[in-house]
């Protein structure tokens, strides 16, 4: 790199409160990273999904609400926690964590320095969710946003409408003596479903990869209905599942594990179910459009309520979102990140462990 270009980069890092580094998003004034994907000295973690929270950092900072889930996924880490809104001075900046509404303990990172405020959103949603704190708009000068579903086609129905559909599907299957197997991601989506369906319809069972996350949610005070473990039921006792809802990770689909249910109907809960092709590729009986990320209107609302004149997009439909924001008169750009390629290592290992096979290689997935 020539000297003038190096000087420009140094000047930019001094001016901006967050810059893109090879290790991840970095705050020069505080000397910490946000959700870094390579090992660093100090990491501020927005939430415990594996594309945002990784092993190898010397010190971690996250919300107190999300500590249980984070430590269950990254045992033995050196973790400092903050309550939502509690300020902490790190270097020359004042940091606080604010609800993102994504999953239990998820946070936006507010950074204040010399009269300027930046907010890094992590992942977020604006829809109501009984299993985590609701999204809180945080006023700032620069807003760093995700854009997982940053296209106009992605518009969610009210959550209760989706859960009514799940209940109706489950109730119909139960009336015909058929198990209802619902595939959804083990952390966040599974607990949201459990907290929102009508538990009076029949018994509820979970895959072994889901139950450790359920325990972490219960330990955090989240109310979930009683559930049984599929692995606790002898294989010959299929009749117990005839009226049951079974929550399973996507990695259990098409596995020998499903044979224990006898006759069953399967469904998949994800924002990607908005696309007909995604439902067809999944090969399930029903697709339920349910996401833990903001839809197109939700992204617009969050950006508008931040009051930010500058917006930086990290992952998802990046180019369309940046183009749309610039057309609205905002100063928009993007950071190249490794977010949004979340994997289901625990799901894959858990699914194979239950059928007596070795853990599979992690397969690309999404926490949507």
SS (H, E, C) 43-87: EECCCCCCCCCCCCCCEEEEECCCHHHHHHHCCCCCEEEECCCCC
For the record, the structure tokens of 167 come out as: 């209940």
Dist. CA 268–CA 368, nearest whole Å: 11
- Find, among 326, 274, 269, 325, the residue nearest to 295 by Cα: 274
| Helix, strand, or coil (residue 332) | strand
Question: What is the Cα–Cα distance from 330 to 311, expressed in whole angstroms?
Answer: 7
**pLDDT for res 340:** 84
Q: Are 267 and 285 in contact (CB under 8 A)?
A: yes
Sequence-separated (6 or more) residues with CB below 8 Å from residue 160: 196
The pair of three-digit structure tokens given for residue 226, joined into one six-digit string: 């009683």
The SS3 call for residue 42 is: strand
- Report the pLDDT value the prediction gives residue 87, as an integer from 0 to 100: 98
| pLDDT for 8 | 40
CA torsion sign for 184, 187, 192, 195 is positive
Distances (CA, A) of 282 to 29, 286, 360: 46, 10, 19
Residue burial 4-27, b: 16+ Cβ < 10 Å; e: rest: eeeeeeeeebeebbbebeeebbbb
Integer angstrom CA distances of residue 101 from 98, 165, 227, 283, 345: 9, 23, 24, 30, 24
pLDDT at 355: 35
What CATH superfamily classification does 17-153+292-337 receive? Ribonuclease Z/Hydroxyacylglutathione hydrolase-like (3.60.15.10)
User: CA angle 279-282-287, nearest 5°?
Assistant: 40
| CATH code of domain 159-290+347-354 | 3.40.50
Tens digits of pLDDT across the chain (368 residues): 444 443 444 444 458 999 999 999 999 999 999 999 999 999 999 999 999 999 999 999 999 999 999 999 999 999 999 999 999 999 999 999 999 999 999 999 999 999 999 999 999 999 999 999 999 999 999 999 999 999 999 999 999 999 999 999 999 999 999 999 999 999 999 999 999 999 999 999 999 999 999 999 999 999 999 999 999 998 888 899 999 999 999 999 989 999 999 999 999 999 999 987 777 778 899 999 999 999 999 999 999 999 999 999 999 999 999 999 999 999 999 999 999 854 333 333 333 334 333 223 223 344 67
Domain chopping of the chain, boundaries: 17-153+292-337, 159-290+347-354
**Residue 62 exposure: Cα atoms within 13 Å on the Cβ side:** 29
Alpha-carbon gap, residue 225 to 221, rounded angstroms: 13
- In terms of Cα–Cα distance, which of 218, 187, 215 is closest to 292? 187
């Amino acid at each position: 790199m020539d000297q003038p270009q190096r000087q420009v980069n140094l000047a930019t890092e001094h001016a901006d409160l967050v810059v893109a580094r090879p290790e991840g998003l970095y705050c020069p004034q505080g000397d910490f990273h946000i959700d870094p994907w390579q090992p660093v000295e100090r990491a501020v973690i927005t939430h415990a999904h594996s594309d945002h929270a990784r092993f190898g950092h010397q010190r971690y900072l996250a919300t107190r609400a999300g500590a249980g889930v984070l430590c269950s996924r990254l045992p033995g880490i050196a973790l400092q926690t903050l309550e939502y809104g509690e300020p902490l001075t790190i270097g020359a900046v004042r940091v606080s964590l604010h609800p993102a509404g994504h999953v239990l303990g998820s946070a936006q990172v507010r950074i204040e320095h010399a009269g300027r405020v930046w907010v890094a959103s992590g992942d977020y949603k604006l829809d109501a969710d009984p299993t985590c704190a609701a999204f809180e708009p945080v006023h700032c000068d620069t807003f760093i946003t995700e854009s997982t579903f940053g296209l106009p086609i992605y518009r969610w129905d009210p959550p209760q409408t989706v859960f009514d559909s799940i209940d109706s599907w489950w109730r119909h299957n139960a009336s015909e003596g058929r198990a209802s197997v619902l595939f959804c991601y083990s952390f966040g989506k599974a607990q949201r479903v459990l907290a929102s369906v009508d538990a009076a319809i029949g018994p509820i069972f979970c895959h072994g990869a889901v139950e450790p996350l359920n325990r972490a949610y219960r330990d955090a005070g989240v109310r979930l209905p009683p559930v049984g473990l599929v692995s606790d039921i002898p294989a010959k006792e299929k009749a117990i599942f005839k009226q049951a809802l079974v929550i399973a990770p996507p990695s259990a689909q098409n596995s020998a594990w499903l044979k224990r249910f006898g006759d069953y109907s399967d469904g998949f809960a994800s924002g990607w179910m908005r696309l007909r092709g995604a439902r067809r590729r999944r090969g399930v009986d029903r697709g339920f459009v349910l996401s833990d990320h903001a839809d197109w209107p939700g992204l617009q609302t969050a950006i508008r309520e931040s009051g930010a004149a500058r917006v930086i997009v990290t992952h998802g439909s990046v180019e369309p979102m940046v183009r749309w924001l610039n057309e609205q008169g905002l100063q928009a750009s993007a950071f190249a990140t490794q977010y949004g390629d979340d994997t289901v290592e625990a799901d894959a290992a858990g699914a194979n462990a239950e059928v007596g096979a070795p853990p599979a290689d992690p397969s690309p997935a999404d926490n949507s």
